[in-house]
Amino acid sequence: MNKISYEFPLNEKCRTYLRVDNLFAQMQANLAMAETGQSLAFFKALFDFMELAERCDIRGDLSKDMERLRLKMQGWRELPGVDIPKLDALCADLQQQAYLLPRSARPGSRFKEDKFLGALRQRFVIPGGLCPFDVPIFPLWLAQPQAWRQAQAETWLGELKLLQTANSLLLDLWREQGSFQTVTAKCAFYQDAAEGCELLRLTLDAELGCYPTVSGHRSRFAIRFLPLADQRLGDISFELARC
C-alpha cells in the first residue's frame, strides 16, 4: 500500500525546527540548478529560511535543546543494554554543536552583503516580480554555465552547514526516541497523553482518502481525520509514534 507520513510539532520550537528541516530539504533537492524551475525553487526556499531566521533565535533555541537532550541521554548510561560508546559519541556531538552554535554568525547574515541575492529577494515577494525588466541580472545569472551556478548555490548552502547539521541531529534523535504503534481513531478521532514529547509521527494508507489534523501541546493531543472528498469516515487505523 501507498503510505503517507506526517510529523506534527507539539511546541513552537519544534515547529520551527521542522520548517527549517523542510527548507533545507528543498534547497538540497534543487541544488543541481539544471533547470530554471530548480533555481526558482532553491531561491524560494533560501529566502523563506532567511525570513524565518530573522524572526527568531534558532541558534540559541537549538543550543539549549541540544544541551537538554545531552543531559537526558547521560541518564541512560545505567539502563540495561545501552551501547555506551555510541551514547558517549552522540553526547559528545551534541555538546560540540551546542557550544559552536551560539558562537557562530547569525544564519544568513552574510547573505545581506550579496548584491545579487539582495536584488533577487526584494523582487521575489512581488507577484510576477521576477520579470526580466524587474531583475535584469537574473536572466544573466541563469545564462551562466550550470556548474558555475551550482557552485554558487553550494557556497550559499555551505554558509548554513553548521545550523543544518545541528537541526538534523536534534530532530533525528527526537525521532528515534519514539516507536510506532498501530492505533485506531474511533469515528476518525483519537486523543491521548504526550507528556514530555516534542513531536508526533503518523503513518497511514493513502487509500483511506483522509488526512490528519492535530491540536494539543506537550501534555495532551487530539487527532481528527478529515476526508479528501465528501464522505463519511468511520474508524481509522494508523501508526503513531510519540517522540
Tens digit of each residue's pLDDT (9 = 90 or more) over 28-77: 999 999 899 999 999 999 999 999 999 989 999 999 999 999 999 888 88
Q: Does residue 218 register a pLDDT over 80?
A: no
pLDDT confidence band for 108 (50 / 70 / 90)? confident
Q: Does residue 1 register a pLDDT over 80?
A: no
- State residue 23's pLDDT score: 98
Mean pLDDT of 11-36: 95
- State residue 191's pLDDT score: 95
Q: Please answer whether residues 183 and 235 qualify as being in contact, where contact means their C-beta atoms are separated by less than 8 angstroms.
A: no
- State residue 243's pLDDT score: 93
pLDDT digit string, tens, across residues 123-140:
988 888 888 899 999 999
Half-sphere exposure of 173 (CA within 13 A, CB side): 21
- State residue 129's pLDDT score: 86
- State residue 125's pLDDT score: 85
- State residue 178's pLDDT score: 92
pTM, two decimal places = 0.93
- State residue 205's pLDDT score: 95
In order of 15, 22, 221, 243, the CA distances from 106 in angstroms are 20, 19, 34, 29
- State residue 76's pLDDT score: 85
Q: Report H helices in the chain.
A: 12-29, 36-55, 58-74, 84-100, 115-124, 137-142, 146-158, 161-176
Q: How far apart are CA 101 and CA 61, in angstroms?
A: 10
Set out the domains of the chain in order of their start, with CATH numbers.
Answer: 12-175 (1.10.3900.10), 178-242 (2.60.440.10)
Mean pLDDT of 152-158: 94
Tell me if residue 165 falls in helix, strand or coil. Answer: helix
Q: What is the mean pLDDT of the chain?
A: 92
Burial class (CB in 10 A: 0-12, 13-18, 19+), 71: exposed
Secondary element (H or E) of residue 7: strand 3-9
